[in-house]
Structure 1
Amino acid sequence: RNDLIPKARGEAELGQIGKMGDSDEPGIALERVKESMAVPEEAVKFVELTEIDFLAAAVGTIHGCRTPFAKLDIPRIKRIRELTGVPLVLHGASGANDEEIKKGIAAGICKINIDTRIRMKFTEKMREIIKTNPKEIDPRKILGPAKDAVKEIIRDRIRVFGCNGRV
């Protein structure tokens, strides 16, 4: 709902969204995530008490995940959406593959955070430029292409999320 954004009271996390440590193996990280997902009935109380407009419930993703191996708990997403009635936010979506995200959207996810993917693309492009031209000292020639790479990944994500042509 576009009319909600200017009046939003806030967005909050419920449950513990995983965080990828530098030494974490995917299997270990996923086990920790399963243990700390949001409980649908607790989500109802949380939304009522806080009066938030957007809920980022822990549903299987991992903050800072650089490879897409997260498995979203689709039934949990559906149940939380049904019980709370608020738009759901997916934090840590860089760690979920496109099919998982599409299923999450169908289940009730309305906002998707992909910060890690954006930062990875930005730094990857900067490293590539510096490696191919190590004597370059003009930041515009390094940052410009990195910014363009970010634009492209955002365009790609907009298409994957089914938002192309929408405001």
Structure 2
Amino acid sequence: MAVIASVSGLNVAQSDLAVAFGASQTTILWIINIYTLALAALLLPLGAIGDRLGRKPVLIIGLAVFGIASATAGLAPSAGVMLAARLLSGVGAAMIMPVTLAVITSTFPEEERGRAIGVWTGVAGGGGILGMFLSAALVDVASWRWLFVLPVALVVAALVMAVRSVPNSREGA
């Protein structure tokens, strides 16, 4: 949910980011889009690494990278720090997305797999919709910096669940 919400969430905070960082519209667009570019460019290669090296460690590393980068983005003192944090968030997201789907397909029995994938898709899709609404509300009542609190909280919960219950599967294993 947090991975998809992070794709669209900052769109509602463009003017706030420009003021906070004294940044041009071009810089703000890079801050918003660098996450999606990193996610899209690295989705397949990092998914393949998870298949070969083990899905659980790649998921845990991806969650840690995503969480730390999200916290850094929320605390960013400058546009440069924000750009780097968003880039790293995209790298972490590219580790999380394919691995979570691979864990579902390798863990659930065939007769339950369709339902599990449907839930995964629904939660991810819901993140895109919920991300826009929550982001708009947070920007209106608080600050754009609060947009990064929910992803960090979700990462902490996901890390606990991953350590406890995700099996370490590999391609062909």
TM-score of the superposition, structure 1-length normalised?
0.30
Q: Which has the larger radius of gyration?
A: 1
Structure number with higher relative contact order (C-alpha < 8 Å, ≥ 6 residues apart): 2
Structure with more of its chain in strand, by fraction: 1
Structure with more of its chain in helix, by fraction: 2
TM-score of the superposition, structure 2-length normalised?
0.29
